[in-house]
Structure 1
């Protein structure tokens, strides 16, 4: 709606003013209705008392006939009705036979039935009570002018309206001033947010101590901002490293192509070596782009739904294919019982393949790679050990970073293998541990939460 206030301060002010208006108006009208009901009940009781009095003095009223006031303003009926803004009538056979009291400025009809009734005429309102008279067939009607009661009710309603208006204005003004004070911390956050930039060294949002909700919001926003800046810094570093890694094979490919183009009569052995080098660089680029794509999907959590994965079958299949890729390396897979986890078979297979390729590339040329799948304390552990130079303890944590290369290795690679393994382990709520194998090489252990096996209960 175009008329609705846009700012939160205006919305709160309008809402509270409306709420107070409704509450005060309803409360005032209820009070007015109660007062009016009580006064009307008093009038009805007075009419009933007068009707009873008339029934007791009915003979006297009949003897005196119509009312004739004397000079002193009194009548022979004892002055009961004179000046009291009331009227008494005796009705027999549908005709008024006697009446005492005020003279009405409009014709008063004979009541058709007994009981209470409202009579209006010439701007006046009267309350009427008609009752049978002493089982004679005659009736008595007692009337009372209630214009004063009507005016009091109108005055009370006017007072309620005035009080409601004043309460709404005071509430709106007070709420507007109070919210200005209460929203000051939010205004500080807004000012700080406008100063935030993409610069990772930019200022943080101002810290707010109270109220507690705004303080929690400030803390949450600063935490989110720190995470975004950390992610942005990692993305910038990752992009720079990726560009650097891509530049080398692309430059090599370009130089080789230029060599082949300038030397169309290059001897066959040299041409063959050039084509093999280009093929190797192409494979390096393919592996690098595949790794980057896998890392990007993991960072974005673009993951399918979790399913049950048989690790035993997955590790067996990965070891079989690794033997085909690295024919000079011996892969020894230890027998293992079936182990099932919840996860993504594609991501787990990518992690296992990277460990097996890493062991083949960084182990001895004709070395041995030991593969073991075990289960302990509710965790499934995939252990891959090689017989290469290994990684010094002070470099093991760094080697999990992207594009990290060890100081002892000269094997080709993109430097993404272990970072891919750690990412998949983390996405499966597990971890990657790097240590030393029994033969002195690298031992990589992936620990993942496993489902309870047959006969194991909840714990192994």
Structure 2
């Protein structure tokens, strides 16, 4: 069964067409209302003029001595009781005093009946033009004017709507030209307030999308780098573990050889575990979001860290020094991870017995920064290694203790995320000083 062709939604009317339709309908409604009011007013005025005319003729004839033969443009009938005393060729029917309408030989008349001489009743009538005769020409004129008004309103609505939606057309054109590869931020559109607001919203959305895309691309690049580096770094210990396991499986070993191989397996397993854990921390740092930043006290964080290490390493003297309180905005877990790695590096690789944590507020040009220092009395680090060990999978000159080579790389990563740097120098205590400089608001 062949697939059915795609169905496209019915195209809706454009804003311009809607405005033109609305203008035309509004004009038609206004014209209808205006025409109705004009017709009613004009017909009412015609009827009032007719009644005033017949009243004037009746009063003039009643006051004259010869009411029937005097004047033109009217008909009149003088009655005494039921008898017609005198009349024009058109005899009006009997009527009571007042205004009335009579039809004689199919012709309508507006009649005014008044008291005449000697108690007679004088009826005077003027031809009453039918309403159709009055409204017909007016209706044609109003209809023509209405058609012209509607056409003009629709044309003006189309023209003004075109000017109003021009910024929207610009937005549509800009949006269609946007691509994901190096597209610049859309230029702001000027015009109607709604179009400007929509333009600002699209620009803001595009900026956020571009930033998110850049973060995603950076995270993917980092993930690829992590995968390649992890594969390279873990290949050696995993190969060594496989060799040890093959020896355990294929060769009869004495107790001393067995203990040596098991110990080697345990050390290699710890190295692999350390590397995987550090890679996870590096990956987490790459995807830290700006909205997760909070304000926290660095000195309090150092105090908690020193207390925890004092419990787990009772033979090491760990102290803190710093201003109270010292607030900064950033990722507290990241700063804690960096400080934890610096302390662990001093204990494991520097073989330190005394460690001091300090936090100091400094002013560099127009920036307020915090210097986080970890001093130890360990063996230190040669100058030639101090830059290199900040890279991933780089180790110092202390082969006695194996490591992942990622501890100080994590510190450098957190320094960059917090708008700062990390430097390694000689410590006044005789060992190594690691200084992490970060912005108070990153």
Between the aligned partners of 1:251 and 1:188, the Cα distance in structure 2 is: 53
| CA offsets 1:125-173 (integer angstroms, 9 cap, x no match) | xxx9x99999x9x999977432322344444445556667788999999
Which segments of 5 or more consecutive residues in structure 2 lack a partner in the other structure? 1-6, 76-91, 116-120, 191-198
Q: 2:24·2:154 contact (CA, 8 Å) conserved in 1?
A: no
- Inter-CA distance 383–61: structure 2 relative to 1 (3 Å threshold): farther
- Inter-CA distance 178–298: structure 2 relative to 1 (3 Å threshold): closer
Q: 2:349·2:398 contact (CA, 8 Å) conserved in 1?
A: yes
User: Would you say 1:372 and 2:376 are equivalent positions?
Assistant: no
Aligned residue in 2 for 1:289 = 276
- Inter-CA distance 99–293: structure 2 relative to 1 (3 Å threshold): same
Aligned residue in 1 for 2:224 = 236
Aligned residue in 1 for 2:86 = none
User: Would you say 1:274 and 2:261 are equivalent positions?
Assistant: yes
User: Would you say 1:384 and 2:374 are equivalent positions?
Assistant: yes
- Inter-CA distance 250–95: structure 2 relative to 1 (3 Å threshold): same
Q: 2:27·2:153 contact (CA, 8 Å) conserved in 1?
A: no
Q: 1:39·1:149 contact (CA, 8 Å) conserved in 2?
A: yes
RMSD of aligned Cα (Å): 5.4
**Count of aligned pairs:** 387
Paired residues for 1:26-425 under 5 Å: 26-59=26-59, 78-79=72-73, 92=96, 96=100, 103=107, 144=131, 145-159=134-148, 186-189=175-178, 204-205=182-183, 220=207, 228-263=216-251, 265-301=252-288, 309-322=296-309, 330-339=316-325, 341=327, 346-363=333-350, 365=351, 368-376=354-362, 379-386=369-376, 387-390=378-381, 392=383, 396=387, 399-401=389-391, 403-406=392-395, 408=397, 410=399, 411-425=401-415
User: Would you say 1:25 and 2:22 are equivalent positions?
Assistant: no
- Inter-CA distance 172–394: structure 2 relative to 1 (3 Å threshold): farther
Aligned residue in 2 for 1:15 = 15
How big is the shift at 1:354?
0.6
Q: 1:91·1:97 contact (CA, 8 Å) conserved in 2?
A: no
User: Would you say 1:447 and 2:438 are equivalent positions?
Assistant: yes
| CA offsets 1:378-410 (integer angstroms, 9 cap, x no match) | 6554211244443648963x6544x24156554
Normalising by the residue count of structure 1, what TM-score does the alignment of the two structures yield?
A: 0.63
How big is the shift at 1:347?
4.2
Between the aligned partners of 2:395 and 2:124, the Cα distance in structure 1 is: 120
Between the aligned partners of 2:219 and 2:148, the Cα distance in structure 1 is: 64
Normalising by the residue count of structure 2, what TM-score does the alignment of the two structures yield?
A: 0.65
| Aligned partner of residue 241 in structure 1, secondary structure | helix
| Aligned partner of residue 57 in structure 1, secondary structure | helix
How big is the shift at 1:315?
2.2
Which segments of 5 or more consecutive residues in structure 1 lack a partner in the other structure? 69-74, 82-87, 109-127, 194-202, 451-460
Between the aligned partners of 1:318 and 1:332, the Cα distance in structure 2 is: 9
Q: 2:97·2:112 contact (CA, 8 Å) conserved in 1?
A: no
| Aligned partner of residue 348 in structure 2, secondary structure | helix
Between the aligned partners of 1:431 and 1:210, the Cα distance in structure 2 is: 34
